Every structure is written in structure tokens, then in C-alpha cells.
Amino acid sequence: MDIVGFLKSQFICHLLICYIFIVSGLIINFIQLFTLILWPINKQLFRKINCRLAYCISSQMVMLLEWWSGTDCTLYTDPESYHKYGKENAIVILNHNFEIDFLCGWNFCERFGVLGSSKVLAKKELSYMPIIGWMWYFLEIVFCKRKWEEDRKTVVQKLLNLRDYPENFWFLIHCEGTRFTEQKHQISMKVAEAKGLPKLKYHLLPRTKGFAVTVQCLRNVVSAVYDSTLNFRNNENPTLLGVLNGKKYHADLYVRQVIHILIPFKQECECSTWLHKLYQEKDAFQEEYYRTGTYPAVPTVPPRRPWTLLNWLFWALLLLYPLFQLLINMINSGSSLTLASFAFVIIIASVGVRWMIGVTEINKGSTYGNNDNKQKQK
């Protein structure tokens, strides 16, 4: 292992990266709190400021993937569509098979300049999570409780609020609702059999209600719907811990543009049928990728932008100096209690870092696909 690779794998480096992310994130959350005074005065200014503040947080995660890990991302798409990316509002349908697929989605947004304004449909619990969850609150992210009877009115209102958004945005949606596991897949396919729906080999059954409402509410706002399918070469199973250790992956992302005006949005049953057909096509693309290692489109590598790295370096220079100064003062003090307190903080920080990584791990993921699908079978 070379010296750079060795350093990337060291826990002290991981701790410093997480220190920068946590402290800068909390500072930005605090600044976002003060932007609330702008909402009744100038809503659009509030939104523009929070897009840039949010970028300062999310771009640090993308920096890990692009610059720290050095992960490559090859985009397979139609050249005519490529030139429109980032220049129009769009709904992006993502598959949900990997621990870092959310990070690859953010990377896709970053390459085309819409990371700060990107939107998602997220579970309500995430809104209480410091840094990212609080950041999303100020970005007017659509949160739901995963109980459609309670969610529908709130989701519709939140989506309609985006109709006058001043920045180009991509609305990222995982229609499967939860990350793919073999157990969830087996349960999902039993539901498909019971309901006479087409079975899928590489995906869970899509949740159609949220997608239908999203299309209905944003139909006059978005210019396109992008269907994207993510895979990693050599059957790699990337993890956030691997990225943090500096392990390099190679992602292949297939993106095709769907003409959104052709989606039957007026009747939910018709929209549901359309989405199930789309996922059958996604399954076929997965099958072809596993067989040939490529997608049926022109490969291109969108250039990395320097802003994620520059943003991280800014926060690193701002926050590491006072940390090291504090550490030197504590050592010079010679106080056993002070050093013990510092060691205790390090231990707490280590546990916190491991917890944050664990949130993304598949084996510790949501049981939503297990429990909810079982209830549907009853």
C-alpha cells in the first residue's frame, strides 16, 4: 500500500474528516436558522441562500467520493439529453441497491450544478437528524411518515410549494421506498404474485402512489423525467466505510430521458401500470449489464468540478487550526483530568462516527420493506 493509501485508511484521518463535517454542518445549520427571518420578507432570497448553505454540507460528502476515494463515474446516456442536464427541472428515478447509491445520486447532481437545490422524498425521522436532516428542512424537502393516508395532504402541499422555486432542481425519488435486500425482494415478489403484478429480478416493487402524486404536482414545473440505473463494475459492493478508507470504485450510471407529458398522470391506476412497466425495463437493463458489463448508450465521463474540494479545504483550514491549538494547550497543561476528558471526547466522537456510517449500512437499514409488504399480504 502506498503512503497516501495508508493515510486514508487511518482512523485519525477519518476522525478529522468527521470533525470538519460535524462542526461545519452545525455552524451552517445555525446560520440557516437565522435565514428564517427572510422568509416573510423575501422568500426567493431565503431559498437561494439556503441552496448555497446546503451545498456547503452535501458537497463534503461528494468530495469524499470524488476526491478522497477517487471513485470514477461513467455516465451512459443520449448525447442530446446530456447537454440539457442541469439546465432544467427534472424528476430523477433512482434504483436503490447499494449503500452509497444516495451519494452517487448527489454526485450526479454535482456534476451538473444542481446539488445545492436537489430535492428528495424522505422519511419523517430524517428531519430530526442534525446537519443533513436540518439542512433538508430549510431546503423544503418533502418528508413523509410512510403512512399514505396521513402523508398525502402534506406531500401534495410540499410539492406544490416547489412550483415557484427560483433555482433549477432535480427531484430524486427511490420508488422502491427502501433499499434492496434478498429478504425484502422475496417478500416483495410474493406481493407481486398475490396481486398479479409483473415480477422483478433485480428490484423491489415500486411504490406507485408517491410517484403518481409527484408527477401530478410537478408536471407543469419539470421539463423531463430521468430514469437512472446504477451499477458498479466487477460486482463491487461499495460502502460508505470503504469510501472513507479511500477505496476506489467505478460506478456506471445509465440515464435515459422519459418524455414526462406521455406519463398518464390523471388516473393513478394508469400511472401505476406505467411505472411497473418502467421497472420491467430497468430489470432488463440490469440483466444486460450483468451479462455484458455495459449499457445501451454512449459512455461519457462528466468532468469533476473543483468546488467540492475547495469548499472542504476552506472548512478544514477554518476548523483544524483551533482544534490543534486546543490540543497543544491541553498537552502543555499537563493536567491528567484534562487529558482524560479529551480522551473521553475522542471515544464519544468515535462512537458517533461509527453510528453515522452505520445508518447507511444495508444490514442495519430500514425494515419498511419487510413489515409493510407483510401487512399487504394479510
Which residues of the chain carry a pLDDT beneath 70?
1, 259-262, 265-266, 334, 338-339, 342-346, 348-378
The per-residue pLDDT for 378 is 42
Burial of 42 (0-12, 13-18, 19+ CB in 10 A): exposed
User: Which residues share a beta bridge with 258?
Assistant: 225
Beta-carbon contacts of 340 under 8 Å, excluding residues fewer than 6 positions away, are none
Fold of 70-306: Glycerol-3-phosphate (1)-acyltransferase (3.40.1130)
- State pTM to two decimals: 0.88
Q: Return the amino acid letter for 36.
A: L
Residue 167 · residue 51 · CB < 8 Å: yes
CA distance 119 to 115: 9
Backbone angles phi, psi at 226, to 5 degrees: -105, 125
Q: Which of 215, 201, 231 is nearest to 274 (CA)?
A: 215
The per-residue pLDDT for 355 is 61
Where do the domains of the chain lie?
70-306
CA distance 76 to 26: 37
Beta strands at 142-144 and 72-77: parallel, antiparallel or unpaired? unpaired
| Diameter over CA atoms, the chain | 72
Beta-carbon contacts of 209 under 8 Å, excluding residues fewer than 6 positions away, are 148, 152, 268
* Number of C-beta neighbours around residue 185 at 10 A: 20
The per-residue pLDDT for 361 is 53
Beta strands at 224-232 and 90-94: parallel, antiparallel or unpaired? parallel
pLDDT in tens, 26-53: 999 999 999 999 999 999 999 999 999 9
The per-residue pLDDT for 327 is 78
- The CA angle 258-200-235, to the nearest 5 degrees, is 90
